[in-house]
Chains A and B, each alone.
Chain A
Amino acid sequence: MKVILRLIAQRIGVSLITLLIVSAVVFFIANLLPGDAAQEMLGQSATPEAVAELREAYGLNDPPPVRYAKWLGGLLTGDAGVSLANDRPVDALIGERLSKSLLLAGFTAVLAVPFAMVLGIVSAMYSGSRIDKAVNIFTLSMVAVPEFLLATILVLIFAVELNWLPSLSYIPRDATAYDYFRAFAMPVVTLCIVLSAQMARLTRAAVVEQLSQPYVEMALLKGATLSRAVLRHALPNAVGPIVNAIALSLSYLLGGVVIVEVIFNYPGVASLMVDAVTNRDMPLLQACAMLFCVGYLILVLIADISAIVANPKLRKGG
């Protein structure tokens, strides 16, 4: 147990260091390059005095490391600065949108995970069979399809041809469950298809890896049936790799939501970030970017920890 805790603490430490490097990279790309935020805000016609005043007010005259430290300190205390585009605090802007993005990701995960598990395990059990080959071709294709193709096909079918669903997600103020369903159906399905294809492939690989181990052959030679050998012997050992696969696949969502939110006009963090790029709203952009990176790191951390916890070598007998 002690060993496990130490390893986990180590992983968390590494993640924090990574996060620090990431924040530096994000900050320096966004700030050290051409373009003066003050000039930008006031427009070309602004007087030099006004620009200088604004620079002073925003601390833009400080040397970059100082500005980085201030920014980082602000992030840690929950103050991510003020949006340049609409003069509101960045935290408030993100706060409004975050729950909506999480809801979208949550729905997707709940649907995709069980589906992908079954698909992955079945094709591993019958690896080399027709089912396996069909699943392989399907998942191989789906992971390579751009989200906007899936989304446009869904819109064509369900909104244009059948007219069942609106082509844009809209949740009215007093939304019913049905409204939610209508709003979420297409974005969730789009994300689900790519996500579960990815996850099914990783799951299959994890299970196949275990099935090639001598202990599975041994179980068969003890008289176990194939399903017993898979369920009782291989799967318990594949749990770590499978959770790992789930966590890593979920990180796909971080990129996937960007397109889906924009295409369905869904008011989440990703579409906020795309707006920030268009407006060159750096404080907002930096904060959004850090949010996504934190999300990614948390998922990777979960993946790593699950691998540690599931390692039978760290288990103790009586």
Chain B
Amino acid sequence: MRSQLSALPVSGKIGLSLVVFWVVLAIIGPFITPYSASELVAYDVFESFSGKYWLGTDYLGRDVLSRLLDGARFTIFIPLAAAGLACATGTFIALFAAVSHRRTDETISRFMDALISIPSKIFALVMIAAFGSSVPILLTITAISYMPGSFRLARSLAVNVANMDFVTVARTRGESRAYLAVKEILPNIVHPMLADFGLRFVFVVLLLSSLSFLGLGVQPPQADLGSLVRENISGLAEGAPAVIIPAIAIATITIAVNLLIDSLRGGATYSAGSK
């Protein structure tokens, strides 16, 4: 483990430290805010950096740093949970499809392909229009919209493994489908699926922030980093840190994860985009 860490290229180390930094911040953030996140502490709105308000103040005169510390947990934990759900269900269904009869496999795959054809932002918009917006619903939406992608990857990996001779050997032994899926195939696709989990996380962070930016994501009084950008957008003309800082914060999270995954793979083939 230690040697693996030191073998990471510089970009990977930067990525890893940023990821650790953000996860820690998301956990302890609400407890270390210098001011209350919801309290109007300053008379001036859109103040710039100062000793008193490190990251300035927002459109109501609240402390931006406090709001950032308080909002980070939404931007980190909803995507973590959603990406985890998406990957786990995607992998599970894919394993099932890979050891099932061809008919079943094709039906599932066809349906997943259809789901993939709904761009995630569009899917989210339709869902929000129908269900409204709340944290559990956002979690569900993001998990569902990235599950088919996980499924597709997991299925192609699983089908490759399922055609390997060691699986055939297990089949000739008369092993059950569940054994083939869980014991023979799963251990061989776990690593790429973990990388995929990282990518899904990036996707969800970007989607969630975009939704919040549109005013359709996390709803007041709660606010994630995307909401902070939205509520302060009127400060853009003044160049207020309240707009730009939360946006940069989001970028550091997503870029860090991308850098980390890329250097773990040792190649520059895959990456997370904001599809």
Indicate if the CB atoms of A140 and B129 lie closer than 8 Å: no
Indicate if the CB atoms of A152 and B122 lie closer than 8 Å: no
Indicate if the CB atoms of B11 and A251 lie closer than 8 Å: no
Query: Is B86's CB within 8 Å of the partner chain A?
Result: no
Indicate if the CB atoms of B129 and A17 lie closer than 8 Å: no
Report B-chain residues with C-beta under 8 Å of the C-beta of A194: 273-274
- Interface size in chain A (residues, C-beta < 8 A): 64
Report A-chain residues with C-beta under 8 Å of the C-beta of B131: 33-34
Indicate if the CB atoms of A258 and B121 lie closer than 8 Å: yes
- Interface stretch among A74-82, A142-150, A179-187? A142-150
Interface centre among A18, A252, A300 (most CB of B within 10 A): A18
Indicate if the CB atoms of A21 and B274 lie closer than 8 Å: no
Indicate if the CB atoms of A25 and B125 lie closer than 8 Å: no
In the complex, chain A residues 275-318 whose Cβ is within 8 Å of any chain B Cβ: 276-278, 280, 282, 285-286, 288-289, 292-293, 296-297, 300
**In the bound complex, how far is the Cα of B195 from the Cα of A272, in angstroms?**
36
- Interface stretch among A1-9, A197-205, A222-230? A197-205
B130's partner among A29, A153, A273 (CB-CB below 8 A) is A29
The smallest beta-carbon distance between A198 and chain B, in angstroms, is 5
Q: How would residues 114 to 141 of chain B score, 1 for a CB under 8 Å from any chain A CB and 0 otherwise?
A: 1101111111011111110000000000
Query: Is A105's CB within 8 Å of the partner chain B?
Result: no
Q: Which residue of A lies closest to B247 (CB)?
A: A149
Query: Is B154's CB within 8 Å of the partner chain A?
Result: no
- Interface size in chain B (residues, C-beta < 8 A): 55
Report A-chain residues with C-beta under 8 Å of the C-beta of B27: none
Indicate if the CB atoms of A146 and B274 lie closer than 8 Å: yes
**In the bound complex, how far is the Cα of B35 from the Cα of A67, in angstroms?**
54
- Interface stretch among A49-57, A58-66, A154-162, A231-239? A154-162
A153's partner among B120, B202, B244, B270 (CB-CB below 8 A) is B244
Report A-chain residues with C-beta under 8 Å of the C-beta of B250: 146, 149
**In the bound complex, how far is the Cα of B117 from the Cα of A137, in angstroms?**
29
Q: How would residues 28 to 69 of chain B score, 1 for a CB under 8 Å from any chain A CB and 0 otherwise?
A: 000000000000000000000000000000000000000000
Query: Is B259's CB within 8 Å of the partner chain A?
Result: yes
Query: Is A220's CB within 8 Å of the partner chain B?
Result: no
Query: Is B150's CB within 8 Å of the partner chain A?
Result: no
**In the bound complex, how far is the Cα of B150 from the Cα of A232, in angstroms?**
37
Query: Is B239's CB within 8 Å of the partner chain A?
Result: yes
Indicate if the CB atoms of A293 and B117 lie closer than 8 Å: yes
In the complex, chain B residues 189-245 whose Cβ is within 8 Å of any chain A Cβ: 202, 206, 209-210, 213-216, 226, 229, 233, 236-239, 243-244
Indicate if the CB atoms of B206 and A144 lie closer than 8 Å: yes
Report A-chain residues with C-beta under 8 Å of the C-beta of B166: none
Query: Is B180's CB within 8 Å of the partner chain A?
Result: no
Query: Is A141's CB within 8 Å of the partner chain B?
Result: yes
Query: Is A30's CB within 8 Å of the partner chain B?
Result: yes
A143's partner among B226, B233, B247, B274 (CB-CB below 8 A) is B274
The smallest beta-carbon distance between A33 and chain B, in angstroms, is 5
Query: Is B182's CB within 8 Å of the partner chain A?
Result: no
**In the bound complex, how far is the Cα of B115 from the Cα of A194, in angstroms?**
24
The smallest beta-carbon distance between B242 and chain A, in angstroms, is 11
Query: Is B111's CB within 8 Å of the partner chain A?
Result: yes
The smallest beta-carbon distance between A297 and chain B, in angstroms, is 5
The smallest beta-carbon distance between A222 and chain B, in angstroms, is 28
**In the bound complex, how far is the Cα of B183 from the Cα of A82, in angstroms?**
55
Report A-chain residues with C-beta under 8 Å of the C-beta of B239: 156, 160-161
Query: Is A101's CB within 8 Å of the partner chain B?
Result: no
Query: Is A41's CB within 8 Å of the partner chain B?
Result: no
Indicate if the CB atoms of B255 and A254 lie closer than 8 Å: no
Indicate if the CB atoms of B244 and A156 lie closer than 8 Å: yes
Given A282-B129, A289-B125, A289-B126, residue A201 in contact with residue B258 (CB < 8 A): no
**In the bound complex, how far is the Cα of B236 from the Cα of A288, in angstroms?**
30
Query: Is B248's CB within 8 Å of the partner chain A?
Result: yes
Given A167-B236, A296-B119, residue A152 in contact with residue B251 (CB < 8 A): no
Query: Is B142's CB within 8 Å of the partner chain A?
Result: no
Selected A-B contacts with CB under 8 Å, 22 pairs: A18-B117, A25-B115, A29-B126, A29-B130, A30-B129, A140-B268, A141-B258, A141-B259, A144-B202, A144-B272, A145-B251, A146-B247, A160-B239, A194-B274, A198-B275, A258-B122, A258-B214, A259-B210, A277-B128, A277-B216, A289-B125, A296-B119
Q: Which residues of B contact A (CB under 8 A)?
A: 11, 110-111, 113-115, 117-123, 125-131, 202, 206, 209-210, 213-216, 226, 229, 233, 236-239, 243-244, 247-248, 250-251, 254-255, 257-259, 262, 268-275
